[in-house]
Amino acid sequence: MRSKLTLKPAVDYATGSNAKGRQMANYTQVVDSGCPIRSYFGVAQADTDSSLKAGQRGPSLLEDYHFREKISHFDHERIPERVVHARGAAFHGEFVLHTAIPEYTSAAVLNDTSRRTPVFLRFSTVAGSRGSADTVRDVRGFAVRFYTEEGNWDIVGNNIPVFFIQDAIKFPDVIHAVKPEPHNEIPQAQTAHDNAWDFFSLTPETAHMMLWTMSDRAIPRSYAMMNGFGVHSFILVNAEGKRHFVKFHFKPKLGVHSLVWDEALKLAGQDPDFHRRDMYDAIEDGNYAEWEFGVQVVPEEKEHDFDFDLLDATKLIPEDLVPVKYIGTLTLNRNVSEYFPETEQVAFCTQHIVPGIDFSNDPLLQGRNFSYFDTQISRLGGPNFNQIPINMPLCPVFNNQRDAMHRMTINKGGANYWPNRFDAPHPVPPQKGGFLSEPLPVSGTNIRARGEKFSDYLSQAQLFYNSMSDVEKKHMVFAFSFELGKVDDTGIHERIVVRLNEIDHSLAKQVAVNIGQPVPPNTTKNHGKKSAFLSQIDGKAQSFTPKGRKVGILLYDEFDTAPVLALQTALKAAGTMAMIVGPRKGSVTSGATTLPTQFTFETCRSTHFDAIYVAGGTGEAYTRGLNTGRLIHAVREAYMHQKPIAVSGSAVEWLQRIALPGEVSPAISGEGKVEVEKGVVILEGATESPQFAKTLIDLLAKHRVWERDVGHIAA
Ligand code: HDE
């Protein structure tokens, strides 16, 4: 695999088309064999292995500045991890607009189709600490920075379009509740504990988001297969000052797809870096992840036309009511050179907007606009975090702020106040690009309360549940059963069953049975409405493609070369990664053919792949190999996870013998023939077959073989 320390960070982007890359190249140094170790004040060091001592076995000497510098720096290497979204990975890329929207906004980044705007996107989980696993059940952060010519614009979003709470003042409560419990710091990176469900059960506004986090959305297959949502209503302002509410959407070109829960649990141990590695390797291989960027726009005068409040972040605007207009493409195409200075030090802030974009009165957003700047001050050590290269805008920064910790910029000139006699850093009017909040009449009584429609917490929870396919509903039942099964307080169980019963009786009934609660009476008033856009399996917004998928090709020496080589070629052409898994690191050989192995049977499991192909081969050793426990387990496990499975040659007879659960055994029908049953594809003999490859690729594009009944193992 590629994820290893690169000693020579590439700075070829210094001359590339990405303006942010060129800017950061000025702060990037190549570390190579020509670099002597120097102290922080530049003096080359002759020995960094032994400290200076009074005699070979004597005490260390205070004068050893090199020792003190090295140890002291190490002592202070850690900064506070993010209080939420601590675990994440970020990637560089660019945004290209294909459709200008001057009718909605004057923002140049949303009007100038000739620009290539550099972006930096950080994906994250919310609850876990920095060292937790990628595949836990959680919301994923989707924080995008656009380095526009007019300054940085940050959409600090999630992969789920709604949020747990409506008012920022509740944020410390929801986060304290979902994080590990205070007395024993258990459990890490999961909501499967009493405090989280206590809070959910006592806070009705969490109902909608609770369903999303118990759905497959919370266990994505890949960063590249998740949506991004700005969540809040923002405001777009056009050149005439006309305002529209807007929700921002990012739709992945690879479709929205998920792991199954059993797989996610196993991967958390087998490869805690599963998502970041997947994206890192894809970028190194030139398989760039892409999203369509869209806006869902509501004119200001239609603000009250909905039965929900546009200012309530626990509600989405159904696409059935307001379609998303897709206007550009975001591509991730470059890995960071060093994690800490880029990914760890990036400081996203919701209040980073550019002229033409403004905030709505969403009380969650309003609170966030305070919180993000505030948190960076303690996380990054002061208010000068904007001078860290990854946070610097592309345009020059002049203002009258001065001093503070870690000041980098040196200003030449006599004034650090306004007005001043030099007309030095001065405000500019909107006509010259100055940001000015649109004049808006505001009135009201000083009151701690929320909009009336905020109290409808059930309608959209029902809409979401009703819109799920049967498979997705089943997954949700088991997700609730897992989480609540880890809750000990039966009072919480009772309250959650009551809440679920308000949403949907069948859901409440199934969960109640699984957690040992009495089935509640059927008092649900489910409105029965559905959205055509919310399901991952049959939703209208979904796309299905074999691109970005991984197929594990399991084989030994003396494998049948013709079908293996042909499948490799076909997969590559389909944009699918074929990975050879063999008995050893290095390579496998058959006659004159040698193939490098990406994994060995010890270093991976079926969970690393979207489909498994077990090739046939010749000789007794090959048959012995096929009969090892690892191989048999890999195929059975992939089968239970509803993944396509392919076999050819001698592996066909082997597959019939190892008896897959559910007793699938496609008919054997003669040399060169292809048969398929419940997502198991067999190729008789050792010839190449375009039909074999096509059948497997078609299955792969559908993501899973949902019609294969495997009980609830995969849920
Ligand atoms: Fe955040 N959130 N948040 N959040 N959030 C942070 O800022 C906060 C909310 C989101 O990759 C923190 O730099 C408050 C909604 C992402 O670096 C902090 C409220 C959404 C990230 C913070 C919310 C998010 C953060 C912690 C309630 C989706 C990671 C570190 C009003 C739309 C950004 C930091 C990255 C990070 C506060 C609610 C998304 C403490 C007070 C809603 C993706 O400032």
Predicted confidence (pLDDT) per residue in 120-131, tens digit: 999 999 999 999
* 371 touches ligand 1 (CB under 6 Å): yes
Q: Give residue 85 CA to ligand 1 midpoint distance, Å.
A: 7
Angle made by CA atoms 326, 329, 331, in degrees to the nearest 5: 150
C-alpha–C-alpha distance, residues 503 and 273, integer Å: 36
pLDDT of 94 over the 90 cut: yes
What's the average model confidence in pLDDT over 206-225?
98
- Ligand 1 geometric centre to CA of 236 (Å): 22
Structure confidence at residue 414 (pLDDT): 81
Q: In sequence order, which residues have a C-beta less than 8 Å from that of residue 629 and are 6 or more positions away?
A: none
Structure tokens at 391: 């946070």
Amino acid at the residue 249: H
Task: Please determine, for residue 549, whether its predicted confidence score (pLDDT) is greater than 60.
Answer: yes
> What is the token pair recorded at 411?
């200003």
- Rounded to an integer, the average pLDDT of 69-74 is 97
155 CB within 6 A, ligand 1:
no
Per-residue confidence (pLDDT) for residue 668, from 0 to 100: 73
Give the span between the Cα atoms of 147 and 393, in whole angstroms: 6
Query: Is beta strand 234-237 parallel, antiparallel or unpaired with respect to 151-158?
Result: unpaired
Superfamily in which the 88-391 domain is placed by CATH: Catalase core domain (2.40.180.10)
C-alpha of residue 481 to centroid of ligand 1, in Å: 28
Contact status, residue 555 vs residue 597, Cβ threshold 8 Å = no
For 679, half-sphere exposure in the C-beta direction (CA atoms, 13 angstrom radius) is: 27
The CB of 601 under 6 Å from ligand 1? The reply is no
Q: Are 558 and 593 in contact (CB under 8 A)?
A: no
pLDDT band at residue 6, thresholds of 50, 70 and 90? very low
- Pick the residue whose CA is nearest to atom 24 on ligand 1: 157
**Could you give the CA distance from residue 148 to residue 20 in angstroms, rounded to a whole number?**
10
Task: Yes or no: say if 479 and 215 are a contact pair by the CB < 8 Å rule.
Answer: yes
Q: Is 7 a residue whose pLDDT tops 50? A: no
At residue 30, the pLDDT reads 83
pLDDT at 438: 83
The answer to whether the CB of 139 falls within 8 A of the CB of 158 is yes
372 is in an annotated binding site: yes
Q: Residue 341: CB within 6 Å of ligand 1?
A: no
* Ligand 1 closest atom vs CA 172: 41
Q: How far apart are CA 653 and CA 686, in angstroms?
A: 13
Q: Is the CB of 275 under 6 A from ligand 1?
A: no
Between the CA of 450 and the centroid of ligand 1 the distance, in Å, is: 21
Contacts of 652 (CB under 8 A, 6+ apart): 616, 668, 682, 683, 684
Please report where in the chains the tokens 């109640």 appear, as a residue: 512
pLDDT of 533 above 80: yes
Query: Strand 228-229 to strand 234-237: parallel, antiparallel, or no bridges (unpaired)?
Result: unpaired
pLDDT confidence of residue 4: 41
Pocket lining: 122 vs ligand 1, CB cutoff 6 Å: yes
Which residue, 170, 20, 197, is CA-closest to 91? 20
Tokens of 72: 């002291």
Average pLDDT over residues 15-22: 89
For a mutational test of ligand 1's pocket, the pick from 81, 83, 85, 351, i.e. the residue with the most ligand atoms closer than 8 A to its C-beta, is: 85
- Mean pLDDT across the stretch 415-429? 91
If you average pLDDT over every residue of the chain, what do you get? 95
157 lines ligand 1 (CB under 6 A): yes
**What mean pLDDT comes out for the span 506-512?**
98
| Per-residue pLDDT tens digits for 576-628 | 999 999 999 999 999 999 999 999 999 999 999 999 999 999 999 999 999 99
Look-up of token digits 């320390």: 5
Atom of ligand 1 lying closest to residue 82 CA: 30
Q: What is the pLDDT of residue 714?
A: 57
For 98-199, strand residue ranges (E) read 117-125, 140-148, 151-158
pLDDT in tens, 556-567: 999 999 999 999
d(CA 139, CA 162): 10
Residues 642-684 have pLDDT tens digits of: 999 999 999 999 998 887 876 667 777 788 899 999 999 999 9
- pLDDT tens, 489-508? 999 999 999 999 999 999 99
**Ligand 1 mutation pick, 371, 376, 385, max ligand atoms within 8 A of CB:** 371
Q: What pLDDT sits at residue 425?
A: 87
Q: Is 665 helix (H, G, I), strand (E, B) or coil?
A: coil
Instruction: Give the closest residue (by CA) to ligand 1 atom 31.
Output: 168
The string of DSSP letters for 646-666 reads EEETHHHHHHHHH--TT---P
Decide if 195 contacts 181 (C-beta within 8 A).
yes
Helix or strand or coil: residue 252? strand
Alpha carbons 34 and 37: distance in angstroms, whole number: 10
Terminal Cα-to-Cα distance of the chain (whole angstroms) = 29
For residue 8, name the pLDDT band (cuts at 50, 70, 90). Answer: very low
CA distance 63 to 67: 9
Strands 577-582 and 289-299 turn out to be unpaired
What distance in Å separates the CA atoms of residue 205 and residue 168, rounded to the nearest whole number? 13
Mean of pLDDT values over 3-29 = 71
CATH homologous superfamily for the domain 459-543: Catalase, four-helical domain (1.20.1370.20)
Ligand 1 atom closest to Cα of residue 374: 44
| Domain boundaries defined on the chain | 88-391, 459-543, 550-701
Q: Report residue 1's pLDDT band, with 50, 70 and 90 as the boundaries.
A: very low
- Rounded-to-integer distance, Cα 652 and Cα 664, Å: 12
- Check pocket membership of 163 for ligand 1, CB cut-off 6 A: yes
> Please, which pLDDT band fits residue 273 given cuts at 50, 70 and 90?
very high
> Cβ(348) to ligand 1 under 6 A?
yes
Residue in 79, 81, 82 to alter for ligand 1 test, most ligand atoms within 8 A of Cβ: 82
Q: In this structure, how many other beta carbons lie within 10 angstroms of the beta carbon of residue 344?
A: 21
CATH code for the structural domain at 550-701: 3.40.50.880
Instruction: Say which amino acid occupies 340.
Output: F
Q: Whose C-alpha lies nearest to ligand 1, atom 11?
A: 122
Nearest ligand 1 atom to the CA of 158 is: 28
Residue 349: its pLDDT value, please? 98
- Residues with Cβ < 8 Å from 220, sequence gap 6 or more? 140, 159, 226, 256, 257, 258, 259, 275
pLDDT number for residue 499: 98
Comparing CA positions, the residue from 512, 516, 598, 571 lying closest to residue 698 is: 571
Residue to mutate, 154, 348, 365, 369, ligand 1, most ligand atoms under 8 Å from C-beta = 348
pLDDT digits (tens, 9 = 90+) for 157-189: 999 999 999 999 999 999 999 999 999 999 999
Taking every pair of C-alpha atoms in the chain, what is the biggest distance, in angstroms? 92
Cα 517 to Cα 194, 631, 658, 708, distances in angstroms = 16, 41, 40, 30
Counting from 1 in the atom list of ligand 1, the atom nearest the Cα of 167 is 31
Q: What percent of the chain has pLDDT over 90?
A: 90
Lowest-pLDDT range of 65-69, 539-543, 558-562: 539-543
pLDDT of 711: 75
> Whose CA is closest to atom 6 on ligand 1?
84
Residues marked active site are found at: 85, 158
